[in-house]
Amino acid sequence: MADTARAGTAPADPALFAGMANAIRALAMDAVEQAKSGHPGMPMGMADVATTLFARFMKLDAAAPDWPDRDRFILSAGHGSMLIYALGWLLGYEGMDLDQIRNFRQLGFKTAGHPEYGHAPLVETTTGPLGQGLANAVGMAIAEAHLAARFGEDLVDHYTYVIAGDGCLMEGISHEAIALAGHLKLRKLIVLFDDNRISIDGPTALADSTDQLQRFAASGWATARVDGHDPEAVARALEAARESDRPSLIACRTVIGRGAPKKGGTAAAHGAPLGAEEIAAAREALGWPHPPFEIPDDILAAWREAGRRGRAAREAWRARLDASPQKDAFEAALKGDYAETLAGAIREYKKVLAENPPKVATRKASEMALEVVNAAIPDTVGGSADLTGSNNTKTKGLDVLSAENYAGRYLHYGVREHAMAAAMNGMALHGGVVPYGGTFLVFSDYCRPAIRLAALMGQRVVFVMTHDSIGLGEDGPTHQPVEHLAALRAIPNLKVFRPADAVETAECWELALASRDGPSVIALTRQNLAPARLAHEDENRCARGAYAIAEEADPDVVLIATGSEVEIALAAREKLAQGKIRARVVSAPSFELFRLQPEKYRARLLGKAPRVGVEAAVRQGWDLFLRRKDAFVGMTGFGASGKGPDLYAHFGIAADAVAKAAKKLID
Amino acid sequence: MADTARAGTAPADPALFAGMANAIRALAMDAVEQAKSGHPGMPMGMADVATTLFARFMKLDAAAPDWPDRDRFILSAGHGSMLIYALGWLLGYEGMDLDQIRNFRQLGFKTAGHPEYGHAPLVETTTGPLGQGLANAVGMAIAEAHLAARFGEDLVDHYTYVIAGDGCLMEGISHEAIALAGHLKLRKLIVLFDDNRISIDGPTALADSTDQLQRFAASGWATARVDGHDPEAVARALEAARESDRPSLIACRTVIGRGAPKKGGTAAAHGAPLGAEEIAAAREALGWPHPPFEIPDDILAAWREAGRRGRAAREAWRARLDASPQKDAFEAALKGDYAETLAGAIREYKKVLAENPPKVATRKASEMALEVVNAAIPDTVGGSADLTGSNNTKTKGLDVLSAENYAGRYLHYGVREHAMAAAMNGMALHGGVVPYGGTFLVFSDYCRPAIRLAALMGQRVVFVMTHDSIGLGEDGPTHQPVEHLAALRAIPNLKVFRPADAVETAECWELALASRDGPSVIALTRQNLAPARLAHEDENRCARGAYAIAEEADPDVVLIATGSEVEIALAAREKLAQGKIRARVVSAPSFELFRLQPEKYRARLLGKAPRVGVEAAVRQGWDLFLRRKDAFVGMTGFGASGKGPDLYAHFGIAADAVAKAAKKLID
Query: Does A79 belong to an annotated binding site?
Result: yes
Cβ separation of B107 and A172 shorter than 8 Å?
A: no
Q: What pLDDT is attached to residue B510?
A: 98
Query: Rounded mean pLDDT of B297-313?
Result: 97
Q: How far is B621 from chain A (nearest CA, A)?
A: 5
pLDDT at B486 over 60: yes
Is residue B533 in some structural domain?
no
Q: Is B149 helix (H, G, I), strand (E, B) or coil?
A: helix
Note whether B596 and B467 are same-domain residues. Answer: no
Q: Residue A555: pLDDT band by 50, 70, 90 thresholds?
A: very high
Note whether B576 and B603 are same-domain residues. Answer: yes
Convert the pLDDT of each residue in A343-372 to its tens digit.
999 999 999 999 999 999 999 999 999 999
Residue B512 CA to residue B493 CA, distance in Å, equals 12
DSSP secondary structure string, B233-284? HHHHHHHHHHH-SS-EEEEEE--TTTT-TTTTTSGGGTSS---HHHHHHHHH
pTM of the model as a whole: 0.98
Convert the pLDDT of each residue in B356-367 to its tens digit.
999 999 999 999
Residue B471 CA to residue B153 CA, distance in Å, equals 48
Note whether B314 and B339 are same-domain residues. Answer: no
Residue B214 CA to residue B210 CA, distance in Å, equals 8
**What residue of A is the nearest CA neighbor of B416?**
A171
pLDDT at B3 over 90: no
Is residue A8 in some structural domain?
no
DSSP secondary structure string, A232-246? HHHHHHHHHHHH-SS
Q: How far is A415 from chain B (nearest CA, A)?
A: 5
Query: For chain B, first and last CA: distance in Å?
Result: 78
Q: Is B137 helix (H, G, I), strand (E, B) or coil?
A: helix
Work out the number of other CB atoms within 10 angstroms of the CB of residue B337.
Answer: 10
Q: Which of B359, B401, B358, B363 is nearest to B383 (CA)?
A: B401
Q: What pLDDT is attached to residue B5?
A: 41
Q: Is the Cα dihedral A30, A31, A37, A40 positive or negative?
A: negative
Residue B410 CA to residue B430 CA, distance in Å, equals 17
Note whether B455 and B553 are same-domain residues. Answer: no
Q: What angle do CA B57, B61, B64 make, to 5 degrees?
A: 150
Q: What pLDDT is attached to residue B10?
A: 57
Q: What is the gyration radius of the CA atoms in chain A, in angstroms? A: 27
Is residue A1 in some structural domain?
no
Residue B215 CA to residue A217 CA, distance in Å, equals 8
Q: What pLDDT is attached to residue A550?
A: 98
Q: Are A33 and A276 in contact (CB under 8 A)?
A: yes
Q: How far is CA A106 from CA A100, A279, B394, in A?
A: 9, 21, 31
Note whether A403 and A495 are same-domain residues. Answer: yes
Convert the pLDDT of each residue in A494-552 to its tens digit.
999 999 999 999 999 999 999 999 999 999 999 999 999 999 999 999 999 999 999 99
The whole domain housing B211 covers 14-320
Note whether A513 and A593 are same-domain residues. Answer: no
For chain B, the maximum distance between any two Cα atoms, rounded to a whole number of angstroms, is 91
Active-site entry in A124, A367, A417, A507: A417
Q: What pLDDT is attached to residue B11?
A: 60
Cβ separation of B199 and A415 shorter than 8 Å?
A: yes
Which of the listed residues B273, B297, B320 is the one where a domain comes to its end?
Answer: B320
Q: Are B172 and A418 in contact (CB under 8 A)?
A: yes
Query: Rounded mean pLDDT of B56-85?
Result: 98
Convert the pLDDT of each residue in B157-189 to its tens digit.
999 999 999 999 999 999 999 999 999 999 999
Burial of A40 per CB tally in 10 Å (0-12, 13-18, 19+): buried
Q: What pLDDT is attached to residue A667?
A: 85
Q: What pLDDT is attached to residue B12?
A: 66
A417 part of the active site:
yes
Query: Does A418 belong to an annotated binding site?
Result: no
Identity of the residue in B412, B415, B478 whose CB atom sits nearest the CB atom of A114: B478
Which of the listed residues B490, B523, B556 is the one where a domain comes to its end?
Answer: B523
Q: How far is B36 from chain A (nearest CA, A)?
A: 10
Active-site entry in B116, B144, B367, B417: B417
Q: Which residues contact A6 (CB under 8 A, 6 or more apart)?
A: A57, A59, A313
Give A-chain residues touching B475 at CB under 8 angstroms. Answer: 113-114, 128
Note whether A60 and A140 are same-domain residues. Answer: yes
Angle between helices A132-151 and A172-183 (to 10 degrees): 20
Q: Is B144 helix (H, G, I), strand (E, B) or coil?
A: helix
Q: What pLDDT is attached to residue B9?
A: 59
Identity of the residue in A210, A473, A637 whose CB atom sits nearest the CB atom of B493: A637
Is residue A644 in some structural domain?
yes
- H or E element that contains B206: none
Query: Rounded mean pLDDT of A142-157?
Result: 98
Note whether B89 and B198 are same-domain residues. Answer: yes
Residue type (1 letter), B659: A
Q: Are A361 and A525 in contact (CB under 8 A)?
A: yes
Residue A273 CA to residue A535 CA, distance in Å, equals 66
Convert the pLDDT of each residue in A602-611 to its tens digit.
999 999 999 9
Is residue B532 in some structural domain?
no
Is residue B202 in some structural domain?
yes
Query: Does A166 belong to an annotated binding site?
Result: yes
Cβ separation of A176 and B172 shorter than 8 Å?
A: yes
pLDDT at B282 over 60: yes
Please list, residue by residue across A465-496, b when 16 or more beta carbons sit within 10 angstroms of its beta carbon and e when fewer do: bbbbbbbbbbbbbbbbbbbbbbbbbbbbbbbb
Note whether B238 and B309 are same-domain residues. Answer: yes
Residue A29's Cβ-side half-sphere holds a number of Cα atoms within 13 Å equal to 34
Mean pLDDT of chain B: 97
Note whether B100 and B175 are same-domain residues. Answer: yes
Q: What is the gyration radius of the CA atoms in chain B, in angstroms? A: 27
Query: Does A526 belong to an annotated binding site?
Result: yes
- H or E element that contains B148: helix B132-151
Identity of the residue in A113, A445, A628 whose CB atom sits nearest the CB atom of B476: A113
Long-range contacts of B572-581 (CB under 8 A, 24+ apart): B572/B612, B572/B614, B572/B655, B572/B656, B572/B658, B572/B659, B572/B662, B574/B655, B575/B655, B575/B656, B575/B659, B576/B659, B576/B662, B576/B663, B579/B663, B581/B556, B581/B557, B581/B662, B581/B663, B581/B666
Q: Which of B97, B238, B101, B66 is nearest to B163 (CA)?
A: B238
Identity of the residue in A166, A449, A641 whose CB atom sits nearest the CB atom of B445: A449
Identity of the residue in B384, B492, B623 whose CB atom sits nearest the CB atom of A623: B623
Convert the pLDDT of each residue in A102-123 to its tens digit.
999 999 999 999 999 999 999 9
A-interface mutation test, from B475, B628, B651, most A Cβ less than 10 A away: B475
Please list, residue by residue across B424-443, b when 16 or more beta carbons sit within 10 angstroms of its beta carbon and e when fewer do: bbbbbbbbbbbbbbbbbbbb
Convert the pLDDT of each residue in A259-305 to its tens digit.
999 999 999 999 999 999 999 999 999 999 999 999 999 999 999 99
Cβ separation of A456 and B638 shorter than 8 Å?
A: yes
Is residue A4 in some structural domain?
no
- Domain CATH code at residue B549: 3.40.50.920
Q: Which residues contact B199 (CB under 8 A, 6 or more apart)?
A: A386, A414, A415, B166, B167, B206, B207, B208, B267, B270
Note whether A490 and A549 are same-domain residues. Answer: no
Note whether B510 and B552 are same-domain residues. Answer: no
- Domain CATH code at residue B103: 3.40.50.970
Residue A125 CA to residue B82 CA, distance in Å, equals 45
Q: Is A253 left (phi over 0), alpha (psi -120 to 50) or beta?
A: beta
Q: What pLDDT is attached to residue A9?
A: 59
Mean pLDDT of chain A: 97
pLDDT at A79 over 70: yes
Q: Which of B116, B124, B136 is nearest to B418 (CA)?
A: B136
Convert the pLDDT of each residue in B332-378 to its tens digit.
999 999 999 999 999 999 999 999 999 999 999 999 999 999 999 99
**What residue of A is the nearest CA neighbor of B617?**
A490
Domain count, chain B: 3
Strands (E), A24-158: 72-75
Cβ separation of A218 and B215 shorter than 8 Å?
A: yes
Percent of chain A at pLDDT exceeding 70: 98
Q: How far is B284 from chain A (nearest CA, A)?
A: 29
Q: What pLDDT is attached to residue A144?
A: 98
Q: Residue A7: pLDDT band by 50, 70, 90 thresholds?
A: very low
Q: How far is B358 from chain A (nearest CA, A)?
A: 24
Convert the pLDDT of each residue in A320-345 to its tens digit.
999 999 999 999 999 999 999 999 99
Query: Does B196 belong to an annotated binding site?
Result: yes
- H or E element that contains B111: none
- H or E element that contains A651: none
Q: Which residues pair with A293 in a beta bridge?
A: none
Cβ separation of B446 and A449 shorter than 8 Å?
A: yes
Query: Does B475 belong to an annotated binding site?
Result: yes
Cβ separation of A478 and B219 shorter than 8 Å?
A: no
Strands, sheet with A611-614, edge to edge from the N-terminal-most edge strand: A547-550, A583-587, A557-561, A611-614, A631-633
Residue A137's Cβ-side half-sphere holds a number of Cα atoms within 13 Å equal to 37
Identity of the residue in A211, A387, A418 whose CB atom sits nearest the CB atom of B200: A387
Q: Which residues contact A40 (CB under 8 A, 6 or more apart)?
A: A28, A29, A32, A33, A82, A257, A260, A269, A273, A274
> What 8-state DSSP symbol labels residue A513?
H
Convert the pLDDT of each residue in A259-269 to its tens digit.
999 999 999 99
Cβ separation of A173 and B172 shorter than 8 Å?
A: yes
Residue A131 CA to residue A177 CA, distance in Å, equals 9
Residue A298's Cβ-side half-sphere holds a number of Cα atoms within 13 Å equal to 8
- H or E element that contains B98: helix B98-102
Is residue B210 in some structural domain?
yes
Give A-chain residues touching B478 at CB under 8 angstroms. Answer: 78, 114, 116, 126-129, 453, 456
Alpha-helix residue ranges (DSSP H) falling in A377-431: 388-391, 417-430
Q: Which residues pair with A411 in a beta bridge?
A: A383
Cβ separation of A166 and B389 shorter than 8 Å?
A: no
Q: How far is CA B410 from CA B66, B406, B423, in A?
A: 27, 10, 13
- H or E element that contains A283: helix A276-286
pLDDT at B7 over 50: no
Strands (E), A158-197: 160-165, 189-195
Query: Rounded mean pLDDT of B59-64?
Result: 97
Alpha-helix residue ranges (DSSP H) falling in A62-131: 81-91, 98-102
